[in-house]
Amino acid sequence: MQLNKAPSGDGYVWVRQGFWLFKKNPLAFLMLVFLYVFIAQFAILIPVFGVFAVLLLTPALTVGFMTACQMVIRGERVMPTVYLAGFRGTDSITKKNLLVLGTVYAFAILILSLIASAFIDFKQLVTLLTQQKEPTIRDVQGLYTGLTIGLLLYLPVAMVMWFAPVLVAWEKMSVAQALFSSWVACWTNKAAFIFYLMIWAVLIVAVPFFLEALLDSIGLRAAIPFIIPPYSMAALTVMYCSFFATWKACFNKE
C-alpha cells in the first residue's frame, strides 16, 4: 500500500469523478443512500441505543457503500445487502475491528457532543432547522456560529475516520494503524481536501439556501419541498460516490 500526495486541484477532480461514478448507476446509489437515511431516522426514534447503533455500524456501512462503488465500476448489479459486505467473506478479526472502530467513532461523537453543548444551544438550533419560528438576524448568526464550531470539532474525527473503515476491511490493518494512516493521508493531502470540502460546502449548503431564497422571493415557496429535498438527496449521494475517488487518489497498491 502506497500513500500518494495529490495536488490541490485534485479536490475538483474527486468531485467530478463522484459525478461520473453516480451517473453509471444513479438508481443503485440513490437506493443505498435513501436506505441509510431511512434506517438512521428510524434508529433515532429509539432513545440512546438507536443513535449508538447507527454510529457503531457506520464503519461497516461505509465499507458496504465503497464496495458498491467497486461493483458499479465493474458493471455488477448492486443490492441493498451490499451493506453487509464488511461482515461477509471476511475473517473474524476484521469483523471485530470494524465493530471496535464503530465503538471508537460512537464515543468520539459522544464526547464531541458534550463539548459542543457548552457552545451551542441545541434546542434553539433544532427550532431553527425545523422552521418552528421565523429566524431573526441574531438567530441566523447563532446558527452559523454553531455549525462552524461543530465543524471544527468534528474535523479531527473526520480525518482519522475518513479511510479507516476501508483500511481495516480491505487492507487488514489494526484499528490503531487504520486511524493513524487515515490521519496521515488526510493531512498529506490537506490542500486537495480543503478544495474538495469547499466545493461540497457550496453544493450541499450554499446552493439549497440560495434556491430556497430565490423560490421564496418569486412567490414559489410551495415548490420548495419538491425541489430542495430531491436536490439535496442527489447531491449527498454524489458526495458519497466521490469518497471512492478520494480513496483511489490517496492510496495505491504497490
pLDDT in tens, 16-44: 999 999 999 999 999 999 999 988 888 88
Greater confidence (157 vs 126) lies with 157
Which residue ranges make up each domain of the chain? 2-252
Greater confidence (117 vs 33) lies with 33
Choose the weakest-confidence range: 69-83, 89-103, 211-225, 233-247. 211-225
- Using pLDDT thresholds of 50, 70 and 90, give the confidence band for residue 126: low
Positive or negative torsion for Cα 245, 246, 249, 254: negative
Q: Tell me, yes or no, if the pTM score tops 0.75.
A: yes
Q: What is the pLDDT of residue 142?
A: 61
Q: What is the pLDDT of residue 124?
A: 58
- Using pLDDT thresholds of 50, 70 and 90, give the confidence band for residue 133: low
- How far is it, in rounded angstroms, from Cα 198 to Cα 176? 29
For 173-194, what is the mean pLDDT? Answer: 96
Question: Looking at the predicted structure, is the pLDDT value of residue 219 above 90?
Answer: no
Choose the weakest-confidence range: 14-23, 104-113, 126-135, 171-180. 126-135
Strand spans (E) along the chain: 2-3, 251-252
Greater confidence (147 vs 6) lies with 6
| Alpha-carbon distances of 231 from 71, 105, 235, rounded to whole Å | 25, 29, 6
Radius of gyration of the chain (CA): 19
Average pLDDT taken over every residue of the chain = 87
Q: Would you tell me how many other CB atoms lie within 10 Å of the CB of residue 102?
A: 25
- Using pLDDT thresholds of 50, 70 and 90, give the confidence band for residue 130: low
Greater confidence (1 vs 216) lies with 216
Q: What is the pLDDT of residue 172?
A: 92
Question: Looking at the predicted structure, is the pLDDT value of residue 69 above 70?
Answer: yes
Choose the weakest-confidence range: 34-38, 86-90, 179-183. 86-90
Q: What is the pLDDT of residue 23?
A: 96
For 212-230, what is the mean pLDDT? Answer: 87
- How far is it, in rounded angstroms, from Cα 165 to Cα 177? 11
